[in-house]
Every structure is written in structure tokens, then in C-alpha cells.
Amino acid sequence: MRIVIAVGLGLLLPLTVQAQSRNPRDLAQDAIIVDTHIDAPSELLSHWNDLGEATPSREFDYPRAREGGLDVAFMSIYTSPDEDAAGTAWQTANTQIDAVEAMVARHPDKFAILRSPADVEKLRKGGRVLLTPGMENGAPIGDDLSKLAAFHARGVRYITLAHSAANRISDSSYQLEKKWGGLSPFGEQVVAEMNRVGIMVDVSHLSDDAIRDVLRVTDVPVIASHSGMRHFTPGFERNISDELAKAVAAEGGVVQLVFGTAFVNPKAASDLTAYFKAESDFERENAALAKAGKPVRSKDEFEKAWKDAHPVPVTHIDAVLDQIDYAVKLIGVDHVGIGSDFDGVSGNLPVELRSVADYPNLVAGLQKRGHSDADIRKILGGNLLRVWSQVEKAAQH
């Protein structure tokens, strides 16, 4: 299903752009590409693969990462609300970090753990892909602020404060009924402690009020590790609003734009919003049936019926390029990056952005739309590395 934009696409560009632009594949190889959201670790726990070798069933592996020019891959350490409720999030998170470390130990010539942006140039020599844990959902820290320093010691360099439901820290954008009205009192302490130890605060998945609270509390720039622009998906709180994107940028932060169809295609985003409402209604109806002693409906049947009625629309790379163009005009090129969500959206991606081999297609598209190579380098990774450096420098160890 993959459509690869030919390396020679530069021949189709206006002469004024072509004269100052490198071949897109060469630029992707030379630039430092930082993708802030790849869900390989949770996939490894569900089915082990040696990602140092070609793994066609996944969207991230070493051969395709090098083909695409990827240098720094933030490995998503994801835990679910159910694991939070069961008290197993800490265990799951540490197991996933172990999986990342095992990849590096198995292939030290192909991978390395990146703990500081200052080490990128040194560690990427020899064609290594650098892996950094980024924790998706703050649930693994439980009620213990000291676990932030413990996870920092394990290499975690950003934490998405919540995921698809409110936790002890923050409200989620997905949850219809908000628990805290933003951050919890404990969540404010979490943000301050993350600033202190040098972990970037990630506002993707948070409610609007929670993002406002984060920006009020933080002393350093923050990131949105994998968000779309809500301008294209009205009413979809999971994507960041213009107001909040500008606020993140005003504090020096960066919005890492996502590739997943559900975030960049208006129809898919509308369906996802409707899904969460339907799921909430389903759970409420089942609870009422159980209370009345009646048989409950099957969740698997609910999921199948929903998917059958809402097929994922085919989406192309222009949807992602539109997001980048809009964000650059809105908040400035110094505050835009990429966080693909590879291996995290069940293959629901633009046709031309199917895996980590396809970053050159993004480069070619940006060049065709008139972005300079210098600005493309910023978008591909320079901006994220700047914010990471600022957070690291401000930390008090």
C-alpha cells in the first residue's frame, strides 16, 4: 500500500526552491531527525520482535529507520488507565524500559540510549539510531514524587501527564466529564518536580484547562509530543487549539505534529470523538444492566460494530503538510516538530507516511511547499533538541 515519493521529486519543484534545496533523501540523512512518539515498546510486550532486523509487521525497525534518516526515536512507555486502576502501571513501565535497553544491548552497533541532547552527534556516529524513553501517561509514578527522579535515572526524558482518562495528575482531553478542572493539586507538584529533575512536560492528551495549568506552573518550556492542530478538526479536544499552541510557543515550547489519520483527517477525528461518547454510553448502560442483575453487552461486539460502521478514511501526506504549514504560520517555525505515533495507531496513517522509512517523503513535500532546508532541519529535530537542552540546563540535580 506504500506509495514512495521518488528521490527525483526535486525536479518538479520551482527552480527558485530547487536551487537552494538538497535532494530530499540526502537532507533526511544529513539532518538530525527526532521523532518524539514511536510506540515500539508496548508492541514488544504484546509480541516480541527483534527490531534490529527488518520487521515488516511493525512501523519501526532499524533498517527502515536508517533508510528514512531517523536519528532520535523517543520510545513511548505507555500504560493504560486500566493498568493505573489495577496498580500495575509501575511494573509495566519498567518492563518496557527494560525492552528498550535490551534492544540496545542486543545491537550496540545499531542502537544507543540517548540521555542528553549534547550526546547526539557523538552517539549517532556509525549509523546508530538513538533511543530515549518518553513516558505516555504519568500513572507509573503513583502518588510518589520520588519516582520522577527514579524514572529520570532510567532515561525517561518526557512524561505525557495523562492519557485517555483522568489520573492522579491531570484531566484527559478524551474524557467527557472532567475530574479536576485541569491539573490536580498533586499534578502541580508533579510539574514542578519534573522541572527540577529535568524531564520535559508533555501536554498531548491533556484537557485545555490542564494545559493552561501546566503553562501557569512550569518554569521551563513544554512540549506537545504528538498532537494535531484543532483548526482542522473542530471540537476535537485531543488536538491542540490555536490559543494553546500560541501559549506553548510563547513560553519557548514546541508542538510536535502527529501523522495518525485520526488526528489529521477531520472525518476520522469526528468519528473518534463520537466513539468516546458512544463508549461512555455503553459503559453506563452496562453498569445499569449489571446493577439490575441483567446480562451485559459484549465489549468486543460493541467495538466490532463501531469499526464496521466507521471505516477509517484513506488519507494522504497533504493532510500532515497542511498541519505543518498552518502551525508554522501560526506559531513560527521555531516551535514546530514531528511526533509520528508510528506503531501506535493500528496502521491508520497517510499513504505516503507508513513507516520510519518515509521521512524523505515529508522532506520532499515541505520543499515543494517552499520551506527552506534550514527551516526543515528545525522541524525535523532542531527545535525539539533546543527545548530539551533548555529543560536539561534548568534542572537542579
Q: Residues near 141 by Cβ (< 8 Å), separated by ≥ 6?
A: 90, 147, 148, 151, 190
Q: Does the pLDDT of residue 13 top 70, yes or no?
A: no
Q: Are residues 27 and 128 in the same domain?
A: yes
DSSP string, 313-354: PP--THHHHHHHHHHHHHH-GGGEEE---BTSSTT---TT--
Q: Is residue 185 part of a domain?
A: yes
Per-residue pLDDT tens digits for 127-176? 999 999 999 999 999 999 999 999 999 999 999 999 999 999 999 999 88
336, 383 contact by CB (below 8 A): yes
Per-residue pLDDT tens digits for 338-386? 999 999 999 999 999 999 999 999 999 999 999 999 999 999 999 999 9
Q: Is residue 386 part of a domain?
A: yes
Q: Are residues 159 and 256 in the same domain?
A: yes
> Could you list the residue range(s) of the whole structural domain that residue 226 is in?
7-265+313-394
Q: Does the pLDDT of residue 9 top 50, yes or no?
A: no
Q: Is residue 39 part of a domain?
A: yes
Q: Does the pLDDT of residue 18 top 50, yes or no?
A: no
DSSP string, 229-267: BGGGSTT-TTSBPHHHHHHHHHTT-EEEE---HHHH-HH
Q: Does the pLDDT of residue 111 top 90, yes or no?
A: yes
Average pLDDT, the chain: 94
What's the average model confidence in pLDDT over 319-327?
98
Q: Is residue 174 part of a domain?
A: yes
Q: Does the pLDDT of residue 12 top 50, yes or no?
A: no
CATH number at residue 322: 3.20.20.140
Q: Are residues 179 and 291 in the same domain?
A: no
Q: Is residue 2 part of a domain?
A: no
Q: Are residues 184 and 271 in the same domain?
A: no
Domain boundary among 286, 312, 338: 312
Q: Are residues 272 and 342 in the same domain?
A: no
Q: Is residue 155 part of a domain?
A: yes
What is the pLDDT, as a whole number, of residue 8? 38
What is the pLDDT, as a whole number, of residue 295? 87
What is the pLDDT, as a whole number, of residue 238? 97
Per-residue pLDDT tens digits for 68-107? 999 999 999 999 999 999 999 999 999 999 999 999 999 9
Q: Are residues 242 and 274 in the same domain?
A: no
| Class of residue 129 by CB neighbours under 10 A (exposed 0-12, middle 13-18, buried 19+) | buried
Q: Does the pLDDT of residue 321 top 90, yes or no?
A: yes
- Number of structural domains found in the chain: 2
Q: Are residues 86 and 158 in the same domain?
A: yes
Of 330, 279, 347, nearest to 57 by C-alpha is 347
Q: Are residues 238 and 378 in the same domain?
A: yes
Q: Are residues 283 and 137 in the same domain?
A: no
Q: Are residues 33 and 100 in the same domain?
A: yes
Q: Are residues 68 and 119 in the same domain?
A: yes
Q: Is residue 1 part of a domain?
A: no
Q: Are residues 41 and 73 in the same domain?
A: yes
